[in-house]
């Protein structure tokens, strides 16, 4: 059974869900999600002999939401993971992340390989620092319409998304899923700043089988205090680029697994398909080739739980030997 409690780590209080005994596996959610996005992974991973812990990351759910925008840099987020490992009485952990959780997982392995047994990223591939700040680069490339830039404007997306939280989340999850019309077309997520994002997203009459009304209820509750803390992660993208300068051209060295859907919008971002092709050459300990899930959109572990669980159990078990 999944149990819940609050722990202190890196100066913040983090709500965690946990189940099982054995080597520690941290599951890090993305945007706009919560610990609940991993609820289909707890049982299978615990049954396979692992201690599974999924936090609400800072700015989300029942965890702390610092007011300052600059309290959400990648160094803070990695610090939370390292602090959480220690608060749970462990020296090392497997770190698994999806969406924004993936860069946190990859950077934890990059910056603190001594505490990472193995790392897995879903949707977002390993970080290879570009030559320009990402917000500035996307602002120029897409004339300010790329969704990162929209999210980074203080107070704008916050207000749009909070008008009707349940509708916002319903549209988000359907539009980025493999079930949405046009999924996998490679069209970039661009936004008309005057009309916002939600007006252009489809609103399904019936939710996909993998995303129930109960799932939507749980997610809606987790955003009852708004979206600002979560959006502050995007507001630090250029700052993160500055802070990670010492690791330019560095690679993730712990054993690594990458899983993505062939209908996910993220692997179609500019330059990402080429990066995925090169990962076996770039990653010294990439476990096999990247795992591509047919017909899967962005919400990898929710849309394809059986395939994701099988890949994770095989990877984690192999790295535990």
Whether pLDDT at 321 is above 80: no
How high is the pLDDT of residue 22?
Answer: 98
Domain boundaries, the chain: 3-320
Q: What is the pLDDT of residue 181?
A: 85
Tell me how far apart the alpha carbons of residues 192 and 269 are, in angstroms, rounded to a whole number: 18
From CA 300, how far away is CA 187, in angstroms rounded?
A: 19
Residue 183 has pLDDT above 90, yes or no: no
**Shortest CA distance to 209 belongs to which of 111, 148, 299?**
299
Q: What is the dihedral of CA 100, 101, 102, 104, to 10 degrees?
A: 100
**Residues with catalytic function:** 99, 298
Residue 200 has pLDDT above 90, yes or no: no
As given in the structure block, the two tokens for residue 151 are: 């999210």
CA 62/CA 33 separation, integer angstroms = 12
User: How confident is the model at residue 33, as a pLDDT?
Assistant: 98
Tell me: the pLDDT tens digits for 221-271?
Answer: 999 999 999 999 999 999 999 999 999 999 999 999 999 999 999 999 888
* pLDDT tens profile 55-65: 999 999 999 99
Separation of alpha carbons 188 and 194, rounded Å: 18
Residue 185: band (very low, low, confident or very high) from pLDDT cuts 50, 70, 90: confident
Which CATH architecture best describes the domain 3-320? Answer: 3-Layer(aba) Sandwich (3.40)
Q: What is the pLDDT of residue 41?
A: 98
């Amino acid at each position: 059974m999944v149990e819940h409690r609050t722990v202190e780590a890196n100066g913040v209080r983090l709500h965690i869900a946990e189940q099982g005994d054995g080597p520690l596996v941290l599951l890090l959610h993305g945007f706009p999600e919560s610990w609940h996005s991993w609820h289909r992974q707890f049982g299978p991973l615990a049954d396979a002999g692992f201690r599974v812990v999924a936090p609400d990351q800072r700015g989300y759910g029942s965890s702390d939401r610092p007011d300052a925008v600059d309290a959400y840099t990648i160094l803070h987020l990695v610090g939370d993971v390292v602090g959480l490992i220690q608060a749970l009485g462990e020296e090392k952990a497997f770190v698994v992340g999806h969406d924004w959780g993936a860069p946190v997982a990859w950077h934890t392995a990059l910056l603190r390989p001594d505490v990472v047994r193995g790392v897995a990223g879903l949707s977002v591939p390993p970080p290879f620092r570009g030559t320009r700040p990402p917000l500035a680069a996307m602002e120029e490339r897409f004339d300010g319409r790329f969704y990162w830039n929209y999210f980074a404007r203080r107070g704008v997306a916050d207000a749009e998304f909070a008008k009707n939280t349940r509708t916002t989340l319903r549209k988000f999850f359907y539009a980025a899923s493999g079930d949405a019309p046009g999924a996998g077309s490679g069209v970039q997520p661009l936004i008309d700043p005057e009309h916002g994002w939600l007006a252009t997203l489809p609103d399904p009459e019936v939710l996909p089988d993998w995303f129930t009304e109960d799932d939507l209820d749980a997610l809606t509750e987790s955003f009852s205090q708004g979206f600002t803390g979560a959006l502050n992660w995007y507001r630090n993208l250029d700052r993160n680029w500055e802070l990670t300068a010492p690791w330019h051209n560095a690679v993730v060295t712990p054993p690594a697994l990458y899983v993505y859907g062939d209908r996910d919008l993220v692997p179609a971002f500019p330059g990402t398909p080429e990066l995925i092709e090169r990962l076996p050459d770039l990653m010294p300990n990439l476990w096999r080739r990247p795992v591509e899930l047919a017909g899967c959109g962005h919400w990898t572990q929710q849309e394809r739980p059986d395939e994701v669980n099988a890949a994770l159990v095989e990877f984690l078990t192999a790295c535990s030997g």
